[in-house]
């Protein structure tokens, strides 16, 4: 590793770089960065860089170029006052970072920690944080800019409210004081943030949702209000058109900005949402980044997260290309340096830290198909398996193969779905419909199916639901296909079982809706809130894991989940399980998962593959400081389709042997 020596001219208008400048000059990325971001000339054995009014930015840019060239920087003892001040500030920040790390490692100043805890007793009147929540809230309040990568159910919103309660109640002249919260997150997180506020503070939040019900002009005008709401909630896509107004708002108010489900800003390739968030980061009074999956694709996903919380500091000393290399390499020694750099500014609570009693995964219930379903399923399985088998030498990633696999999984639960276009499922699976020709398969039998049979799985679910309700229990039924969600609700209604449904089309309450409105009763918030009541008129919710597998909590009311069907997506599967298995379960409560598999079908393969993926994912989540997942791990990739082919061959050989 080379060394660059930094000095300044007598006028303090330029920085002089000596030392191993050959490493910089021979590094194309470093030179390109200097050309794009500085004004410099090479004079003999030196590089002379114009300061151009801001020594801090110039020094940070030199550090970036040095990093690209694999060099460290040393500062001369004779630099100008501005550079000396920068060096002093960097030393102070290093001390600050060490103190934040000490808190993270539970090496707290006990006097300060006791004062923080007392402040929460006084100001977070309705909620007592458990040990790791308290430590995380203290860490966030101290750092003011931090990430929380805890698992779902660890109480990240309570941690934020704990830190906010402390910072809000600081004296007016304290530079750390904040008095408002801006939550940027998915629409389905708005209700939980408001309800969590009430549970923490014992009163309803004075909140404002900037949702689709408001015009863009109304949203813009809101940020010019002299007295905006204490809690403002806005979605990621909305930020794009509000950057100017948000900048004004953040300059005028003392705002703690929270990025919920912050992996949505991981795009480092010029994504417009991510760039819009970065444009406002400099003006936040405090910043919190929340996500349980900080690096779903690789370490490069961390770059924007830490750039947001410290926009004027270079927390991650590696560029995007290096981070991508580190993700692909096995045991890359640079990973340790990365973790050391970011450790002062993130907390992470694992599921094993929560002390939740283990859930009960009941053995799968095997459901024999009825005659018509059996004929339809066997026909399309033999045909599609043959087609997929022919593509074994060409890879399985074509949209046609994925579409065939979806059709096979649909037929295993309800052949009536084969009448539906794939368009209802295409968004979650990211398919290109232009290459898919949905051929007519046993068209007459499929068209008549709903008239001739009730899917056997529907009846099996009915029996299990009745069993749970008879014991005064509540249950959530997970289904992947919208038609099945609606059809199952209709069928259960004919059997005397009332249910509500949650999927992408279930509306989210806008700011204008109040609880007395008829429209409010149809929203996700109203359904979930009523479901928690003891006298709720329904004990069953039917939901789609793609739409509501995050940002809702049902564990206080519901302890049973039934899986009508599943795809190969392990992330959605684990997220759906976490809806009822979270911190806060009462002692003695047992959480139950029930799985229904159609006999002799692809359901077996899905079940086994999800078991394997879940074990691997949980091992990664529990054992890695930053959970790093294979980019294709949760997709219907080659391994999934090979497993479908293998299991089909084994099953059909066994059937032939028995005959």
In a shared domain, residues 416 and 349: no
pLDDT of residue 397: 55
Confidence tier at 635 by pLDDT (50, 70, 90):
very low
Cα gap 416→409, rounded to integer Å: 12
Mean pLDDT over 546-561 rounds to 85
Read off the pLDDT of residues 200-214 as tens digits, 9 standing for 90 and up. 999 999 999 998 888
Confidence tier at 421 by pLDDT (50, 70, 90):
low
In a shared domain, residues 97 and 155: yes
pLDDT of residue 654: 67
pLDDT of residue 282: 95
In a shared domain, residues 302 and 374: no
| 528 close to 191: Cβ distance less than 8 angstroms | yes
Mean pLDDT over 503-528 rounds to 72
Mean pLDDT over 111-128 rounds to 95
Confidence tier at 482 by pLDDT (50, 70, 90):
very high
CA dihedral 404, 407, 422, 524 (to 10 degrees): -130
pLDDT of residue 633: 47
Residue 66 CB contacts under 8 Å (≥ 6 apart), including other chains: 4, 24, 30, 72, 73
What pTM value is reported for the model?
A: 0.84
pLDDT at 516 over 70: no
% of the chain beyond a pLDDT of 90: 62
Read off the pLDDT of residues 577-614 as tens digits, 9 standing for 90 and up. 999 999 888 889 999 999 999 999 999 999 999 999 99
In a shared domain, residues 459 and 597: yes
In this structure, what CATH number is given to the domain that contains residue 595?
Answer: 3.40.50.300
pLDDT of residue 422: 52
Mean pLDDT over 323-331 rounds to 86
Cα gap 594→577, rounded to integer Å: 11
Q: Which of 627, 574, 631 is nearest to 293 (CA)?
A: 627
In a shared domain, residues 444 and 466: no
Least confident piece of the model among 10-19, 117-126, 237-246, 557-566: 10-19
Residue 30: give the domain boundaries: 2-79
Q: Which of 607, 603, 622, 180 is nearest to 411 (CA)?
A: 603
Residue with tokens 């295409």: 426
pLDDT at 399 over 90: no
| 327 close to 298: Cβ distance less than 8 angstroms | yes
Confidence tier at 438 by pLDDT (50, 70, 90):
very low
Residue 206 CB contacts under 8 Å (≥ 6 apart), including other chains: 229, 230, 231
In a shared domain, residues 446 and 458: no
Residue 627: CB atoms within 10 Å: 21
Residue 111 CB contacts under 8 Å (≥ 6 apart), including other chains: none
Q: Coil, strand or helix: which one is 207?
A: strand
Tokens (6 digits) for 58 = 């110039």
Q: Which of 324, 353, 382 corresponds to the end of one domain?
A: 353
In a shared domain, residues 349 and 376: no
Read off the pLDDT of residues 423-437 as tens digits, 9 standing for 90 and up. 555 454 454 544 445
pLDDT of residue 442: 65
pLDDT at 636 over 50: no
CA dihedral 156, 159, 160, 164 (to 10 degrees): 170
| 585 close to 553: Cβ distance less than 8 angstroms | no
pLDDT of residue 659: 47
pLDDT of residue 274: 93
Cα gap 64→60, rounded to integer Å: 6
| 76 close to 6: Cβ distance less than 8 angstroms | yes
Arithmetic mean of pLDDT over the chain = 88
Read off the pLDDT of residues 240-279 as tens digits, 9 standing for 90 and up. 999 999 999 999 999 999 999 998 898 777 789 999 999 9
Confidence tier at 185 by pLDDT (50, 70, 90):
very high
% of the chain beyond a pLDDT of 70: 91
| 323 close to 298: Cβ distance less than 8 angstroms | yes
In a shared domain, residues 40 and 155: no
| 563 close to 591: Cβ distance less than 8 angstroms | no
Least confident piece of the model among 50-59, 275-284, 565-574, 579-588: 50-59
Q: Which tops the pLDDT comparison, 501 or 57? A: 501
In a shared domain, residues 110 and 138: yes
In a shared domain, residues 558 and 611: yes
pLDDT of residue 623: 83
Rg, C-alpha atoms of the chain: 28
Q: Which of 421, 450, 479 corresponds to the end of one domain?
A: 450
Q: Calculate the alpha carbon distances from 466 to 312, 495, 570 in Å.
A: 58, 10, 28
In a shared domain, residues 275 and 397: no
| 564 close to 543: Cβ distance less than 8 angstroms | no
Q: Calculate the alpha carbon distances from 9 to 44, 59, 80, 86 in Å.
A: 16, 14, 8, 16
| 288 close to 32: Cβ distance less than 8 angstroms | no
Q: How many CA atoms lie within 13 A of 502 on its CB side?
A: 28
In a shared domain, residues 208 and 160: yes
pLDDT of residue 506: 86
Domain count, the chain: 4
Q: Which of 518, 455, 520, 519 is nearest to 492 (CA)?
A: 455
Cα gap 523→180, rounded to integer Å: 27
Q: Which of 398, 420, 450 corresponds to the end of one domain?
A: 450
pLDDT at 513 over 80: no
| 54 close to 38: Cβ distance less than 8 angstroms | no
pLDDT of residue 436: 46
pLDDT at 634 over 70: no
Q: Coil, strand or helix: which one is 208?
A: strand
Read off the pLDDT of residues 5-28 as tens digits, 9 standing for 90 and up. 999 887 778 899 999 999 999 999
Phi, psi of 504 (to 5 degrees): -55, -35
In this structure, what CATH number is given to the domain that contains residue 345?
Answer: 3.40.50.10810
């Amino acid at each position: 590793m080379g060394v660059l020596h930094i000095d300044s001219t007598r006028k303090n208008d330029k920085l002089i770089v000596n030392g191993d400048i050959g490493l910089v000059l021979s590094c194309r990325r470093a030179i390109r960065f200097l050309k794009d971001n500085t004004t410099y000339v090479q004079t003999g054995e030196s590089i002379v860089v114009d300061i151009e009014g801001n020594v801090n930015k110039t020094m940070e840019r030199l550090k970036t170029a040095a990093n690209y060239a694999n060099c460290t920087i040393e500062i001369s003892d004779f630099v100008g006052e501005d550079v000396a001040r920068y060096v002093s500030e960097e030393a102070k920040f290093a001390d600050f970072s060490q103190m934040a790390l000490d808190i993270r490692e539970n090496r707290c100043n006990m006097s300060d920690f006791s004062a923080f805890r007392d402040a929460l007793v006084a100001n977070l009147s309705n909620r007592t944080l458990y040990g790791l929540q308290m430590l995380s809230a203290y860490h966030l309040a101290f750092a003011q800019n931090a990430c929380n990568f805890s698992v779902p159910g660890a109480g990240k919103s309570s941690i934020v409210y704990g830190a906010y309660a402390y910072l809000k109640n600081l004296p007016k002249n304290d530079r750390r004081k904040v008095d408002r919260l801006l939550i940027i997150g998915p629409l389905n997180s708005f209700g939980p943030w408001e309800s969590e506020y009430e549970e923490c503070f014992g009163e309803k939040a004075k909140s404002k949702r900037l949702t689709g019900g408001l015009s863009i002009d109304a949203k813009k005008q809101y940020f010019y209000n002299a007295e905006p709401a204490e809690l403002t909630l806005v979605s990621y896509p909305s930020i794009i058109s509000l950057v100017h107004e948000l900048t004004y708002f953040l300059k005028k108010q003392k705002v703690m900005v929270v990025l919920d489900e912050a992996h949505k800003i991981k795009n480092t390739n010029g994504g417009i949402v991510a760039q819009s968030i970065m444009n406002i980061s400099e003006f936040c009074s405090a910043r919190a980044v929340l996500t349980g999956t900080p690096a779903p694709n690789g370490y490069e996903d961390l770059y924007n997260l830490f750039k947001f919380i410290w926009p004027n500091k270079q927390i991650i000393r590696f560029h995007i290309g290096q981070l991508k290399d580190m993700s692909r390499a096995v045991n890359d020694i640079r990973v340790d340096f990365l973790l050391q750099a970011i450790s002062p500014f993130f907390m992470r609570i694992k599921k094993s830290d929560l002390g939740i009693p283990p859930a009960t995964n009941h053995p799968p219930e095997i459901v024999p198909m009825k005659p018509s379903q059996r004929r339809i399923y066997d026909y399309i399985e033999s045909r599609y398996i043959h087609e997929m088998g022919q593509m074994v030498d060409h890879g399985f990633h074509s949209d046609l193969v994925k579409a065939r696999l979806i059709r096979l999984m649909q037929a295993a639960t309800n052949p009536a779905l084969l009448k539906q276009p794939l368009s209802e499922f295409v968004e979650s699976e990211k398919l290109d419909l232009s290459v898919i020709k949905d051929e007519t398969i046993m068209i007459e039998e499929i068209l008549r199916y709903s008239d001739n049979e009730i899917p056997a799985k529907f009846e099996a679910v009915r029996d299990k639901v009745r069993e749970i309700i008879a014991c005064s229990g509540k249950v959530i039924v997970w289904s992947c296909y919208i038609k099945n969600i609606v059809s199952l609700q209709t069928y259960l209604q004919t059997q005397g079982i009332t249910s509500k449904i949650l999927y992408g089309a279930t509306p989210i309450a806008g700011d204008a809706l109040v609880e007395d409105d008829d429209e409010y009763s149809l929203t996700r918030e109203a359904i979930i809130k009523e479901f928690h009541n003891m006298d709720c008129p329904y004990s069953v919710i039917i939901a789609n894991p793609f739409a509501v597998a995050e940002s809702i909590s049902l564990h206080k009311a519901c302890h049973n989940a039934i899986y009508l069907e599943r795809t190969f997506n392990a992330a959605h599967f684990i997220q759906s399980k976490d809806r009822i298995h979270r911190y806060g379960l009462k002692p003695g409560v047992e959480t139950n998962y029930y799985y229904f598999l159609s006999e002799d079908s692809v359901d077996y393969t899905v079940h086994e593959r999800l078991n394997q993926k879940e074990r691997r994912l949980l091992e990664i989540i529990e054992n890695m400081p930053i959970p790093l997942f294979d980019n294709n791990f949760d997709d219907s990739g080659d391994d999934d389709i090979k497993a479908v082919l293998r299991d089909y061959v084994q099953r059909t050989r066994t059937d032939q042997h028995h005959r």
